Structure 1
Amino acid sequence: MLDAEVAIVGGGAAGLSLAHRLARPAPGERRVSAVLVDAPPGPLRPPSRTWCFWEKGPGPYDAALTAAWRRLRVHTPAGRPAADDIAPLTYKMLRSDDFERLVARDLARQADVRRLEATVETVDGISGGAEIHARTRQGHPVTVRARWVFDSRPLGSLPAARTTLLQHFHGWFVRTGRPVFDPGTVDLMDFRVPQPPRGLAFGYVLPTGRHEALVEYTEFSGAVLSRQAYETALRRYAEDVLHLGDFEVVSAETGVIPMTDARFARRTAPSVFRIGAAGGATRPSTGYTFSAVQRQTRAVVDALRAGRRPMPPPAHSARSRAMDAVLLRALDSGRVDGAAFFARLFTRVPMERLLRFLDGGTHLYEDVSLGFRTPVLPMLRSAAELSWLPRRPFPEPSPRPPRAT
């Protein structure tokens, strides 16, 4: 049996971020013993994925970044580009394999956080803590007992919600024969693609050089597409919109992220908490998760070092969640043209302010001002409708989040 003050279940963005923070106490801070229980290689371990986020100034993971940008661009459905500098923010790209290597290197240099490769079978609350029953790759049972457990594993199904959309995407890491990319600018949303009847679709380009980029096709809608449909849409975007010419697909990534106004439980037993996407860290209106994970894990570690109960805080404010619920309803009902809605925001609001809004960092007066840049009557009708809509289970099991952006 392994004993520790903290046990972390799952080695995705949330689990690794929490382990990394616990492994790096500042001088004089209280040290916390922890065990990170990560699934062996196989179907339970998340596939390689890309996380994107924005932050002000340098961050703790800068050494592992693939690229970083200060300029973002959006293309309207009519093809008009709108670009802006987002200073003092920086948009950052972090690949999960690089993040895992950085965390593994730092864990190897200290003794506070141990790593156990095992498949978790149960997490049970017990007197004064919790107990994890797991099995190693060789099939041997192992038990971890901890005062606090933080579970970041994907949920088996989504909680009941009034509205649930899926952000689903397919992307290629490409290398072109000629220099076609601007390595200083990210195409955050390119609406020069056919739009679905409800929701929206857009292209997404993260250039890492003149010849290299991650090119993605993304939809916000109620159901995923076939693999062939993604491939067709992505190839049309690469060839007919971006005009890449001859290019090589180096690797690919595919994922599904739930966008929902469901209420996520942050505690499942007196000493067992959920963190990451399972704890509601995904922003319902955008699918971005990584920044909220950092806020969650920072608050947890601060509480642990201070000797307080480490209940993870809500990842997003009540005001942000309420606004997101209205937007999701407006998109799902078809009252709002999704491509026109986002294009209008990005062309009429400074991108730095819009990114702060998407991260819940704006003041009330800024939110009100931004609200007047949206289709007011459809949004008000959607808001009124929410008061009587029942919360229903999502018809399909929750997809494993492959990217915490």
Structure 2
Amino acid sequence: MLGPRYFYVIIGGGLAGLQLARQLSRDVFFKGKKIAIIDSDFSMPVKTWCFWEKGKGKWDDLLTKSWNKGKFISSEENIDLQLSPYTYKMIKAKDYHQKLQDEIEESGDIEFITDEIQKIDPVTMKAKGQKKSYGATHFFDSRVDPSYLESKKHTTIFQHFKGWEVETEKPVFTPDSFTMMDYRIKYPDATAFTYILPFTEKKALVEYTFFSPFLTEDKVYDEMLQQYFEKVLKTKDFKIKSTETGVIPMTDFPFDKANTEQITKIGTGGGWVKPSTGYSFKNTEKRIAKIIDNIKSGKQPGENLINNKFRKYDAIFLDVLAQNNQKGEEIFTKFYTKNSPQDIFRYLDEETSVSEDLKIMLSLYSFDFVASFFRKTF
């Protein structure tokens, strides 16, 4: 059964899909164009997004917490990170989803459709769903191409984690300083660390996170988190208020190569997750702005969304971690001891010059990086 035909159809109502729909609904350039956003489930997810930026931002009214200081802790280093002029910010996904869904619905310009899209026919320009088929002039598609998992040419590791939002009996957290990485509780032969977002002296989100080629059982995260509370925080007296889990692909697979005149891949499915870190929130904001600018300039929406220079850097870094996963603590210790937080943030935001890139890369220099350079270049 064929449903209505739209000018744009956005497939997926997650971080990228909702933000794209919001920007289209707020821009007079797109007034009068029939637009739909389709997802199998528009319910509020339990997850957290963090990002850094200078000064005030467009999402400040949604912040759960922000920090101007942080820590990096390894077996031999305990580094205080003074972030100014940057601030590290946290948003809960349920707050983001609720606000954007409300704003989009209030605009009256975009239709929400609950359905699961199975495939897009680029010839007929119809998206086949379980309930109907939907025609459009252009599709923005957030579905992830699973073939990245089988690619022998590209590297994939996973950022996978479990977090406990806890309340302790006694003060154990420092609320004005988050912990980017703490390597004191180790998992054998893997890059794994504890990440802490403190809200008060007694409340925090504490996550145990892996950057690894493998996944693990749920009980492993619980065991590592329990060890952290007992051995590092020195407490057994706490209540778990909620939990969150996630698996984020960190890959140099070129998802964006699927972009055409009719279809633009977005979100994780478009390669918008920064391969070397797993961060996606600010990348999403930047790339949606680029899509809007491309459309207004008469270009294909998906043109030049990915910086190939930094994709090459990320590919080398991922290869090092995939080939030498047990060396993650050593690599990140070099990264944080030999570079300022400001330089690190600019590099990860893909705002550095070649000479600045070289400084960062030399700080990580080892035979492993040289071997990965040749593996990924030739």
TM-score (norm 2): 0.92
Instruction: For residue 311 of structure 1, report the CA deviation from its aligned partner.
Output: 1.8
Q: 1:28-56: CA deviations, max 9, x gaps?
A: 64534421112136xxx784211111122
> What amino acid maps onto 1:97 in structure 2?
K
Name which of 189, 192, 200 aligns with 1:201.
192
Deviations along 1:339-388, one digit per CA (max 9) or x if unpaired, are 01111221221112101111212121111111221133331122123345
SS at match of 2:253: coil
1:105 CA drift (Å):
1.7
Alpha-carbon shift at residue 195 of structure 1 (Å): 4.2
- Alpha-carbon distance in structure 2 between the residues aligned to 1:134 and 1:229: 38
Give, in whole Å, the separation in 2 of the partners of 1:124 and 1:46: 30
SS at match of 1:372: helix
C-alpha distance in structure 1 between counterparts of 2:91 and 2:334, whole Å: 28
Matched AA of 1:66: T
Instruction: Pick closer, same or farther for the CA change 1:96–1:157 going to 2, 3 Å.
Output: farther
Give the Cα separation in 2 of the matches to 1:29 and 1:88: 34
The one-letter code sitting in structure 2 at the alignment partner of 1:120 is I
In 2, the alpha carbon distance for the partners of 1:202 and 1:238 equals 13
Alpha-carbon spacing, 1:74–1:273, altered in 2? closer, same or farther (3 Å): same
Q: Distance in 2 between matches of 1:119 and 1:46?
A: 17
User: Do residues 131 (structure 1) and 150 (structure 2) align?
Assistant: no
Q: 1:174: Cα distance to partner?
A: 0.7
- The separation in 2 between residues aligned to 1:308 and 1:270, in whole angstroms, is 9
CA distance in 2, matches of 1:246, 1:150: 48
Q: Please say if 1:36 is aligned against 2:33.
A: no
More helix by share: 2
Distance 1:150 1:292 in 2: 16
Q: Distance between the aligned counterparts of 2:51 and 2:303, measured in 1?
A: 20
CA distance in 2, matches of 1:314, 1:108: 28
**After the TM superposition, which parts of structure 1 deviate over 6 Å for at least 4 consecutive aligned residues?**
none
Q: CA RMSD for the aligned pairs?
A: 2.1
Q: Tell me, in whole angstroms, the C-alpha distance in 2 between the residues paired with 1:86 and 1:202.
A: 21
For 1:256 and 1:149, locate their aligned partners in 2 and report how far apart those are by CA, in whole Å: 26
Trace 1:12-31 onto structure 2 (pairs within 5 A). 12-25=14-27, 29-31=29-31
In structure 2, how many angstroms separate the alpha carbons of the residues matched to 1:363 and 1:268?
Answer: 27
**Does the Cα contact within 8 Å between 1:205 and 1:213 map onto a contact in 2?**
yes
Q: Structure 2: which 5+ residue stretches go unaligned?
A: none
Which amino acid in 2 is paired with 1:156? Answer: P
The residue number in structure 2 matching 1:391 is: none
Counterpart for residue 275 of structure 1: 266
Map residues 3-402 of structure 1 onto 2, 5 A cutoff: 3-25=5-27, 29-31=29-31, 32-40=33-41, 47-78=45-76, 80-126=77-123, 130-135=125-130, 141-158=131-148, 160=151, 161-197=153-189, 199-267=190-258, 270-315=261-306, 317-334=307-324, 337-387=327-377
Instruction: Map Cα deviations across residues 189-230 of structure 1 (whole Å, 9 max, x no partner).
Output: 111121432x41110001122221110001111111111111
Per the TM alignment, residue 335 of structure 1 is displaced from its structure 2 partner at its CA by 8.5
Q: TM-score, length-normalised on structure 1?
A: 0.86
CA shift, 1:133, in A, is: 2.6
**In structure 2, distance between residues paired with 1:330 and 1:254:** 25
Check whether the contact 2:51–2:88 (CA below 8 A) recurs between aligned residues.
yes
Change (3 A) 1:150 1:4: same
Q: Please tell me whether the aligned partners of residues 68 and 93 of structure 1 are also in contact (alpha carbons under 8 angstroms).
A: yes
Letter in 1 for 2:245: T
The alpha-carbon distance between structure 1 residues 334 and 46, as it changes in their structure 2 partners (threshold 3 A), is farther
